[in-house]
Amino acid sequence: MIAERIRNIRENENLSREKFAARIGVSRGVIENIELNRVAPRDVYIKSICKQFHVNEEWLRDGTGEMYSSTTEEELFVEKLADLLKDDKKEVRDLVMALFKLEGKEFEVVKDMVEVLVNKKAT
Condensed to tens digits (0 to 9), the pLDDT of residues 56-104 reads 999 999 999 999 887 777 877 887 777 777 767 788 888 888 888 998 8
Residue 86: per-residue pLDDT? 74
Taking the domains of the chain in order of start, what are their residue ranges? 2-62, 73-122
Q: What percentage of the chain reaches a pLDDT higher than 70? A: 95
User: For 2-62, CATH number?
Assistant: 1.10.260.40
Residue 68: per-residue pLDDT? 87
In the chain, alpha helices (H): 2-12, 17-24, 28-35, 43-53, 57-62, 73-86, 90-101, 104-122
Residue 18: per-residue pLDDT? 96
pTM for the full model?
Answer: 0.60
Three-class SS of 38-60: CCCCCHHHHHHHHHHHCECHHHH
Of the CA atoms within 13 Å of residue 59, those in its CB half-sphere come to 16
Does the pLDDT value for residue 123 go beyond 70? no
